[in-house]
Amino acid sequence: MKELLFALAGNQNSGKTTLFNRLTGSNQHVGNFPGVTVEKKEGAVKKHPEATVVDLPGIYSLSPYTSEEIVTRDFVLNEHPAGIINIVDATNIERNLYLSLQLIELGIPMVIALNMMDEVRASGNSINIPRLSQELGVPVVPISAGKNEGIDELIETALRTARENRRPLKYDFCDGEVHKAIHAIAHIVTDQAAEAELPLRFAATKLVEGDEPTLAKLRLDEDQVHIIDHIVEDMEHELGTDREAALADMRYSFIEKACALCVTRHQETREQVRSEKIDRVLTSKVWGIPIFIGIMFFIFWVTFTLLGEPLQNLMDEGIGLLQNAVGSLMERAQISDWLQRLVIDGIFAGVGSVLSFLPIIVLLFFFLSLLEDSGYMARVAFVMDKLLRKIGLSGRSFVPMLIGFGCSVPAIMSARTLSSERDRKVTILLTPFMSCSAKLPIYGMIIMAFFPTHRALVMISVYIIGILVAILSGLILSRTVFRGNPVPFVMELPAYRIPAPKSVLLLMWEKAKDFIRRAFTIIFVASIVIWFLQSFDLRLNMVADSADSILAMIGSFIAPIFAPLGFGDWRASTALITGVTAKETVVSTLTVLTGAATDAQLSQALAAIFTPLSAFSFLVFTVLYMPCVAAFAASRRELGSWKGAILTALYQTGAAYVTALIVYQIGSLILR
Ligand code: GDP
Ligand code: MG
């Protein structure tokens, strides 16, 4: 039997991933937050191994404005799927059909899966399916992906439509001036469209809309471009609107007519009524932000204090036990000394200190997936949009920033939900400025030594400096390197829903797996390298005092760079280097290098390296400079290139340098 490829396309949050999981029996993450599926995923249809479905990112239109739209569009245009399964949220049918009309123009066999029929039914509304199918010229199958209803029939219909190559029966949804323009242009570009392998109708409509990629692909000659411009100008003139509005208008008036014929709506669905009630409180001008802050405090408290700390300690102890066991085992096996030290001081110390963060990561993602699946996170993004827009970001960037106060790694990973590449890049760059929890031990150490009486003040000022630098960077970057506007915030507020336990557990498991894998790859390697550098000298002799090590050499070599910031001591710069493996390492490195055995000794030793002012400048630098390797690796993966990740780290370190320099120099002037 011939292989069949299906594209699963639909609006964000229409239940695409839920349907994909039903069709393929796989376990992709379902979230009640628009934009969760950014990459495309594929799987074989259950019981029909010859058919493959590809879950495409959610989109509202086939115009190439966002990276999701481009992914989806390129896929259907270039991969020539045998069929399209267009999922339509029946509780939001008008807006969803806007995409359907554009998909129909592609002339690919297509089935509409009318989803969320359970909610439509529960509210006493109804949709005349045969009539809708007739109006649109494609088969329509009512389903409920959530309740697993109608899936078999959908599969049957999709397979039949694709095998028999049944193309949409009509694609002419237009009339009047738009109709004239589309047809005239279709005439002109018939040959080129065939040559470029673009569906003619799609090409013509996109030319009327002024779609650049289509224009480029068609390779029209000058005369043709000229005539097309003329036709479009005429149309705009006759209608008194611009080209894009004219087409949107045409589509919506068709949809309106069709829905008037097919949809009987007595009342809003129960979910919509409930959502409106909840929203009156949660997104209210007065209560919205206080409630949100309250919820976040609660989550951070539970994650980091109530459960996180004991679990992290438990994890630490477990790792410690294992470390001792391995240590004595190696002792008995008389394994050479350097190898023992590599395993214990290098690998166990490095990988172990990172692994101990596992409980916190899992907990944080547990809460975040609850917030996301319930639909609350979408409201928060909505409330924050206005503020973030001022620094060139959109409301969606808020979520990663917030997670950044916990840990940059999941924060950078969550930037994936941003639709535009520009927004994603800026967010990944700014997120590490939010002081993460791994930096807390550093603050603790410096405060203990220099500011025991101004604890809170120093803490708060460090956090605020991070936020201020992020705001300033946002302002500068969105006017220079990342020019352009954040994508308009078209996010539909999804209905509040009870999170599905399976989906929450699945997400936690995914994150845990990801994190553990990273600990045993990049951090594993980094730990070995650092250990090597601090244990050997250039002639590869093992050193007794780490002051003679290669690491110390590098430290002293770069130490002068930090002299203008007030801390030109080689031990400080070495700690900053090792801090890149994990920020807590700054503390352990300073402890090892000063040979301090107790906290009091450490404070004393630090007083020889720093003055209170240079200690504060050091703090400022540690908050801002490039994040740890785990976060760096995450940003490399999310940015998709080494170059992007390295430039990002350089910017962050540069910002840290400049800020610490200003703090130290101005501070010296004042204190003189
Ligand atoms: P996607 O963004 O299009 O991939 O949508 P998801 O599959 O992530 O689903 C969005 C939300 O709709 C989730 O909260 C699902 O649980 C919910 N959902 C999906 N299908 C149905 C359905 O048929 N009925 C109901 N009531 N909810 C559904
Ligand atoms: Mg999805």
With a CB cutoff of 8 Å and minimum separation 6, the contacts of 283 are 379, 382, 383
- Which pLDDT belongs to residue 490? 54
pLDDT tens for residues 449-461? Answer: 899 888 778 878 8
> And the tokens for 321?
């036990």
Q: What angle do CA 311, 315, 320 make, to 5 degrees?
A: 145
Give the residue-averaged pLDDT of 475-504: 76
37 Cβ inside 6 Å of ligand 1: yes
**Position 156 pLDDT exceeds 50:** yes
> And the tokens for 443?
């603050």
Per mean pLDDT, which range of 4-8, 400-404, 409-413, 491-495 is the poorest? 491-495
List phi, psi (to 5°) of 41: -125, 150
21 Cβ inside 6 Å of ligand 1: no
If you measure from the C-alpha of residue 206 to the centroid of ligand 1, how many angstroms do you get, rounded to a whole number?
Answer: 30
**Position 559 pLDDT exceeds 70:** yes
146 Cβ inside 6 Å of ligand 1: yes
Give the residue-averaged pLDDT of 522-550: 80
**Position 37 pLDDT exceeds 60:** no
- Which pLDDT belongs to residue 201? 92
- Ligand number with the minimum distance to the CA of 123: 1
**Position 406 pLDDT exceeds 50:** yes
- When the pLDDT of each residue in the chain is averaged and rounded to a whole number, the result is 85
Assign residue 630 a region: left if phi > 0, alpha if psi is -120 to 50, beta otherwise? Answer: alpha
- Nearest-CA residue for ligand 1 atom 11 is 32
When pLDDT is cut at 50, 70 and 90, the band that residue 2 belongs to is low
Give the residue-averaged pLDDT of 25-46: 65
- Which pLDDT belongs to residue 544? 79
If you measure from the C-alpha of residue 559 to the centroid of ligand 1, how many angstroms do you get, rounded to a whole number?
Answer: 55
If you measure from the C-alpha of residue 58 to the centroid of ligand 2, how many angstroms do you get, rounded to a whole number?
Answer: 7
Helix (H, G, I), strand (E, B) or coil at 272: helix
Helix, strand, coil shares of the chain as percentages rounded to 5?
65, 5, 25
Q: Which residue has the higher pLDDT, 465 or 518?
A: 465
If you measure from the C-alpha of residue 417 to the centroid of ligand 1, how many angstroms do you get, rounded to a whole number?
Answer: 16
Q: Which of 484, 424, 436 is nearest to 463 (CA)?
A: 436
Give the residue-averaged pLDDT of 330-358: 80
- Which pLDDT belongs to residue 351? 75
When pLDDT is cut at 50, 70 and 90, the band that residue 663 belongs to is very high
- Which pLDDT belongs to residue 341? 83
486 Cβ inside 6 Å of ligand 1: no
pLDDT tens for residues 408-421? Answer: 887 888 787 676 78
CA 243 to chain CA centroid, Å, is 33
31 Cβ inside 6 Å of ligand 1: yes
Q: Which of 12, 13, 149 to mutate to test the pocket of ligand 1 (most atoms within 8 A of CB)?
A: 13
Share of the chain above pLDDT 90, in %: 34
Q: Are 429 and 647 in contact (CB under 8 A)?
A: no
Q: Which of 53, 19, 59, 51 is nearest to 35 (CA)?
A: 59
Share of the chain above pLDDT 70, in %: 93
**Position 593 pLDDT exceeds 80:** no
Per mean pLDDT, which range of 87-96, 104-113, 150-159, 532-541 is the poorest? 532-541
Hey, what's the torsion of the CAs at 590, 595, 600, 605, to 10 degrees?
Answer: -70
Helix (H, G, I), strand (E, B) or coil at 457: helix
- Which pLDDT belongs to residue 595? 66
What DSSP line would sit under 541-559, residue for residue? Answer: PBPSSGGGSHHHHHHHHHG
The CA distance from 19 to 13, in Å, is: 11
- Which pLDDT belongs to residue 353? 62
Q: Which residue has the higher pLDDT, 41 or 77?
A: 77
If you measure from the C-alpha of residue 117 to the centroid of ligand 2, how many angstroms do you get, rounded to a whole number?
Answer: 18
Q: Are 83 and 4 in contact (CB under 8 A)?
A: yes
Helix (H, G, I), strand (E, B) or coil at 510: helix
The CA distance from 439 to 38, in Å, is: 31
584 Cβ inside 6 Å of ligand 1: no
Q: Which residue has the higher pLDDT, 284 or 250?
A: 250
pTM higher than 0.75 for the full model? no
- Nearest-CA residue for ligand 1 atom 5 is 15
Q: Which atom of ligand 1 is nearest to the CA of 32?
A: 14
If you measure from the C-alpha of residue 35 to the centroid of ligand 1, how many angstroms do you get, rounded to a whole number?
Answer: 12
Q: Which residue has the higher pLDDT, 368 or 87?
A: 87
Element (DSSP H or E) covering residue 485: none
For residue 84, what are the β-bridge partners?
7, 110
Neighbours of 147 (CB within 10 A): 14
- Which pLDDT belongs to residue 511? 73
Instruction: Characterize the bridge pairing of strands 126-127 and 83-89.
Output: unpaired
- Which pLDDT belongs to residue 210? 87
**Position 439 pLDDT exceeds 50:** yes
Q: Which residue has the higher pLDDT, 123 or 607?
A: 607
- Which pLDDT belongs to residue 147? 92
Strands (DSSP E) found in 523-607: none
- Which pLDDT belongs to residue 523? 67
Per mean pLDDT, which range of 82-96, 260-274, 344-358, 418-432 is the poorest? 344-358
* Cβ density class 600-618: b for 16+ within 10 Å, e for less: eebbebbeebbbbbbbbbb
- Nearest-CA residue for ligand 1 atom 6 is 15
**Position 668 pLDDT exceeds 90:** yes
The CA distance from 639 to 13, in Å, is: 24
pLDDT tens for residues 53-80? Answer: 988 888 888 877 666 777 788 888 888 8
When pLDDT is cut at 50, 70 and 90, the band that residue 364 belongs to is confident
Q: What angle do CA 245, 250, 254 make, to 5 degrees?
A: 145
DSSP state of 147: T
When pLDDT is cut at 50, 70 and 90, the band that residue 597 belongs to is low
- Nearest-CA residue for ligand 1 atom 19 is 15
- Which pLDDT belongs to residue 205? 92
With a CB cutoff of 8 Å and minimum separation 6, the contacts of 284 are none
Residue with token string 């809309």: 209
The CA distance from 593 to 571, in Å, is: 7
15 Cβ inside 6 Å of ligand 1: yes
Q: What angle do CA 229, 235, 239 make, to 5 degrees?
A: 145
When pLDDT is cut at 50, 70 and 90, the band that residue 150 belongs to is very high
Q: Which of 666, 557, 553, 572 is nearest to 618 (CA)?
A: 572
**Position 30 pLDDT exceeds 60:** no
Hey, what's the torsion of the CAs at 555, 560, 566, 572, to 10 degrees?
Answer: 0
Highest averaged pLDDT of the listed ranges 29-43, 324-338, 536-550: 324-338
Helix (H, G, I), strand (E, B) or coil at 233: helix
Q: Are 111 and 159 in contact (CB under 8 A)?
A: no
If you measure from the C-alpha of residue 150 to the centroid of ligand 1, how many angstroms do you get, rounded to a whole number?
Answer: 15
List phi, psi (to 5°) of 36: -70, -35
- Which pLDDT belongs to residue 522? 65
Q: What angle do CA 77, 83, 88 make, to 5 degrees?
A: 95
Q: Longest Cα pair distance anywhere in the chain, in angstroms?
A: 91
Q: Which of 8, 12, 18, 56 to mutate to test the pocket of ligand 1 (most atoms within 8 A of CB)?
A: 18
The CA distance from 209 to 185, in Å, is: 12
**Position 640 pLDDT exceeds 80:** yes
Per mean pLDDT, which range of 13-27, 85-99, 658-672 is the poorest? 13-27
- Nearest-CA residue for ligand 1 atom 2 is 13
Mark the residues whose beta carbon lies below 5 A from ion ligand 2: 17, 36-37
- The number of helix segments (H) and strand segments (E) in the chain equals 32, 8
If you measure from the C-alpha of residue 144 to the centroid of ligand 1, how many angstroms do you get, rounded to a whole number?
Answer: 9
If you measure from the C-alpha of residue 373 to the centroid of ligand 1, how many angstroms do you get, rounded to a whole number?
Answer: 10
- Ligand number with the minimum distance to the CA of 145: 1
Q: Are 652 and 625 in contact (CB under 8 A)?
A: yes
Q: Are 89 and 13 in contact (CB under 8 A)?
A: yes
Q: Are 606 and 445 in contact (CB under 8 A)?
A: yes
Q: Which residue has the higher pLDDT, 165 or 418?
A: 165
**Position 401 pLDDT exceeds 70:** yes
- Ligand number with the minimum distance to the CA of 148: 1
When pLDDT is cut at 50, 70 and 90, the band that residue 36 belongs to is very low
36 Cβ inside 6 Å of ligand 1: yes
- Nearest-CA residue for ligand 1 atom 28 is 146
When pLDDT is cut at 50, 70 and 90, the band that residue 328 belongs to is very high
If you measure from the C-alpha of residue 425 to the centroid of ligand 1, how many angstroms do you get, rounded to a whole number?
Answer: 28
Give the residue-averaged pLDDT of 627-635: 88
With a CB cutoff of 8 Å and minimum separation 6, the contacts of 612 are 450, 451
**Position 280 pLDDT exceeds 90:** no
Q: Which atom of ligand 1 is nearest to the CA of 145?
A: 23
